[in-house]
Structure 1
Amino acid sequence: MVSNQNKTPLFDALKAYQERNVIPFDVPGHKHGVGLKEFGEFVGNKVLQIDVNSMKPLDNLNNPIGVIKEAEDLAAEAYWADHSFFLVNGTTSGVQAMIMSVCEPGDKIIMPRNAHKSAINGLILSGAIPVYIQPEINERLGIAMGVSIEDVEKAIARNFDAKAIFLINPTYYGATSDIKSIVKIAHKYGMAVLVDEAHGAHFRFNDELPYDAIELGADMCAVSMHKTGGSLTQSSLLLIKEGLVDEKTVRTVLSLTQTTSASYLLMASLDIARKTLAIHGQELLSETLRLARKAREKINEIDGLYAFGKELIGTPGVFNFDETKLGINVSELGLTGFEVYNILRDEYNIQVEMGDVFNILALISFGDSDESVNALVEALKDISKKYRKDNFKIRFDKISVLENPELIVSPRQAFYSRKKIVKLEEAEGEISGESIMVYPPGIPIVIPGERISKDMIDYIVMLKKQNSSLQGTEDPEVDYIKVLGQ
């Protein structure tokens, strides 16, 4: 990496501002923490002294010409992109900006049905029409993987007029598709390739990890630096390659939804995280991989557990695999992933990323250590002994909910249509006016405009019984759902 990746222009400017002891008569109203003393005593006064507003020495995110622009350019260089945009509304804002930058109302976009809710909301905002590709399913694990080249080619053959293809790199559990080949096919037909790389911010910086999407030729890529890159929660990057995408258009679109009061804490953390990855990423991520491999090896010695990994490469929907995603199948314990998730948190003080019907997911990063990994392994050993249910097996009979639902009207049209409220159990055959999803991971079970099936209802009822965190409906209990009609 070139030498100027050692620079942190925005962070340096923020430190210089703090050292000047400026007398503030601007927002925020806490005035360097004086008006928020209890919070300052807990987090430290310097944190509040650099929670400031845009000004000439610190630049402005909505029209960067100074230190923010310099920091964004360094990020673009680190990721081999032509342009980079700092995001303080999370990768959600980046995903929405990608779709809105290339799709007008009525334009088609090809995408996997296991896309994050931010992509579905991008459809509502843009008015684009989704053409869904069914992701490959690993039936043993009960999870969706990547998409096949053959399914992408079929979708293109039926929709030559699509404006873009939307991909995920990697999936929540670490699987990647053959993005390089898909990019080549898409570009042959003039389609832009947009990639949700929320869980792949680290890919670029270690040669044992899968390739990042920009390096593989994608046109736009939204990257959650806060997830795997080390920055503060809610801070992300949007990367673009020029050609099918125009940098000025993207910036204009971002200005529609991104705040005009961008947090300098978040932006400075992006500046530092980029430097850390660019300068030390290879060694830090090699250690991360060592910890992840150690955890897999030890967990796979525990009766009833299967920590899946690179052995999945070559199976349907798995072109490559991110080993830092520690997915653990728990079904042979006779427990659901939801149950193990709760036991780890409540009994062992360990918070994993998520649980589903069959698995839990732990994320290993360069913030981990042998001690933290050992604590997880020992807790899982104990759970296997104390909580295992002999003579009980979870039946794999709910995979149909992952099949592509029937889209009746566009998500945007459904969102703005008149609606009525019905009981969830009585909604079969109705056209949904809301989304329902489990968070995490935030992949919708049903979205506005889709016909509600019995499988969907049964799956949602099962999730409710597991006390899963369901979101999307106005009814917080998800006993009722809005559907189209009067």
Structure 2
Amino acid sequence: MKEIDQSKTPLFDALKAYHEREVIPFDVPGHKHGKGLAELAEYLGPKVLEVDVNAMECLDNICNPIGVIKEAEDLAAKAYGGEHAYFLVNGTSSGVQAMILACCNPGDKIILPRNAHKSAISAMILSGAIPIYIQPEIQDRLGIAMGVSLESVKNAIEEHPDAKAIFMINPTYYGVVSDLQSIVTLAHQKGMLVLADEAHGAHMHFHEEFPLSAIAAGADMSAISIHKTGGSLTQSSLLVLNSKKVAAESVKSVLNLTQTTSASYLLMISLDIARKQLATKGKELLDGVLELSRYARNQINEIGGYYAFAKELIGTPGTYDFDESKLGINVKDLGLTGYEIERILKIEYNIQVEIADLSNILCIISLGDQRKSIDILIQALKDIKKKYGKQQAKDIITPPLRNPELIVSPRDAYYSLKRVVKLRDAIGEVSGESIMAYPPGIPVITPGEKITEEIVDYIEALKEQRSMLQGTEDPYVNNIKILGQQPVG
């Protein structure tokens, strides 16, 4: 078998060659190599806009790649252990939707964790698939959803043997990994496909001390946010296929239903370069990520009042493995919420964390971090404890433990007649919208589900803590759409 040269960057090389020709443009984009947007060119540097060009023969086309994009995608596929790969310029959300659309017809069942990203719910609306939710395990001390147990997957398969696929998260936002390899084996024995949302796991395939990547675990498809932890530009992701049951041509066809015909070459060359870096230097770079992550945890846990959690959770319900690049810090013993710590860090210390919830903050340690920035974070947390720490820990408000009852499919709910009511007046009604805290973008309620008092209480608790809620047409989430025609008179 011919050895793959992962040091190549075919798309990046082609774009540099095009730039060096100093072509006179009479095509789009209209800024014409930056001349028509001088203020931005001056701020970013002219070269950025000079390489923001349109698809053409020498640069290939994302909708039907047969040249340098295809070469770059093939290199990415091999880097991740797959047979085929597809560049995504609308984030992993588009990859999640493509996977489900490629595998599920209207009415097909798909098994998935309740803490799946909102893009999976959007895929239900687009495909007409019926979600069969598995409740993830809840970690009482942290107050967050973990992974799903193998037993819960077995139960879902036994109850729904006609399900077409199982959708998994690898890892969760906080770094928790389910026993994906065993789940894949079980699913394939039952004739079901396994699809993976690896929005937060782009790095894991390239170092043996991280959990198994989805493709390495045997999954059929994986949508991977290279931009989150792999080094590419925001919005650039990868879809990897490694299945005898899903045709590569079908996946391309599905992607072409929704993806742009004017893909950004800045995003695509960043994927080409990030893949090269991961494939050729990933082990070395991730050694540094692990060293920084472990150093940060040790230092933070010595402060007192904070709990930076990691691999000690392995073996607890829903936690088969753990991604150490996710620096989750539980803050409840300080008597402060994660939201309060997030705001203090931002306003007083000029530090931006990834997400916050009622009990935790999450910092991502990735390829670009340095010891200096870690030390600044550690000192800030020490200062916050001295200045703001309280004696009494706040009560944990956990998400509802029961899955809402699905009354109608997400697709039918989306297209049904709806009316707007006050949030608390919606108890007992069927939701016509989703509500989620973003990040992480995990819905509390989705279209077609029955709204309970427990759900409304939780949403109101999130609002009181100034969580960033979205999904409803009402930006303040005071009102929600429910199914049913507007009363007359």
TM bin, normalised by shorter chain, reads over 0.9
Gaps of 5+ in 1: none
- Asked whether the 8 Å contact 2:111–2:134 carries over to 1, the reply is yes
Cα displacement (A) at 1:2: 4.7
Q: Whole-Å Cα distance in 2 between the matches of residues 402 and 432 of structure 1? A: 18
Contact 1:144 1:402 in 2 (8 A): no
Aligned counterpart, 2:153: 152
Partner of 1:133: 134
2:80 is aligned to 79
* Partner in structure 2 of residue 202 of structure 1: 203
1:161-220 CA distances to partner (integer Å, 9 max, x unpaired)? 000000000001001011110001100111000000000000111111111000110000
Equivalent residue number for residue 475 of structure 1: 474
Q: Which runs of 4+ in 1 moved over 4 A?
A: none
Return the letter of the residue paired with 1:188: Q
1:402 offset after TM fit, Å? 4.2
1:310-321 alignment runs, 5 A limit: 310-321=311-322
Aligned-residue offset at 1:340 = 0.5
Q: Is the partner of 1:32 in helix, strand or coil?
A: coil
Whether the 8 Å CA contact 1:432–1:482 is kept in 2: the answer is: yes
Write the deviation string for residues 440-462 of structure 1: whole angstroms up to 9, x where unpaired.
00001100001111111111111
TM-score computed with the length of structure 2 as normaliser: 0.98
Q: CA deviation at 1:133?
A: 0.5
Instruction: Write out aligned runs for 1:60-459 (5 A).
Output: 60-390=61-391, 392-396=392-396, 398-459=397-458
- Structure 2 Cα separation of the partners of residues 269 and 472 of structure 1: 30
Partner Cα distance (1:63, 1:207) in 2:
35
The residue type paired with residue 309 of structure 2 is: F
Distance 1:156 1:53 in 2: 46
In 2, distance between residues paired with 1:365 and 1:288?
6
Q: Secondary structure of the equivalent of 1:300?
A: helix
User: After superposition, what is the alpha-carbon deviation per residue over 1:326-361, rounded to whole angstroms, capped at 9, x for unaligned?
Assistant: 000000000000110111111100000000010000
What is the distance in 2 between the residues matched to 1:276 and 1:262? 22
2:399–2:458 contact (8 Å) kept in structure 1: no
Give the 3-state SS of the residue equivalent to 1:6 in structure 2. Answer: coil
How far apart in 2 are the matches of 1:478 and 1:9? 47
TM-score calculated relative to the size of structure 1: 0.99
Instruction: Supply the distance in 2 between the matched residues of 1:94 and 1:115 (Cα, whole angstroms).
Output: 14
2:163 partner letter:
A
- What code does the residue aligned with 1:248 have? E
Query: Within 2, Cα distance between the matches of 1:331 and 1:290?
Result: 26
Instruction: Check the 8 A contact 2:332/2:393 in 1, yes or no.
Output: yes
**8 A Cα contact 1:206 1:285, kept in partner:** yes
2:53 maps to 1:52: yes
Sequence identity of aligned pairs in percent?
Answer: 65
Q: Which amino acid aligns with 1:230?
A: G
8 Å Cα contact 1:175/1:321 also seen in 2 = yes
User: Partner of 1:262: helix, strand, or coil?
Assistant: coil
Tell whether the 8 Å contact from 1:408 to 1:449 is kept in structure 2 after alignment: yes
Residue 294 (structure 1) shift: 0.2
In 1, the alpha carbon distance for the partners of 2:399 and 2:274 equals 41
CA separation in 1, counterparts of 2:301 and 2:3? 41
Deviations 1:401-425 (A, max 9, x none): 2431111110000000000000012
Deviation at 1:3, TM superposition (A): 5.4
- Asked if 1:466 is matched to 2:465, the reply is yes
CA distance in 1, matches of 2:203, 2:399: 33
**1:43 — aligned with what?**
44
Instruction: Report the Cα distance in structure 1 between the residues aligned to 2:10 and 2:131, rounded to whole angstroms.
Output: 40
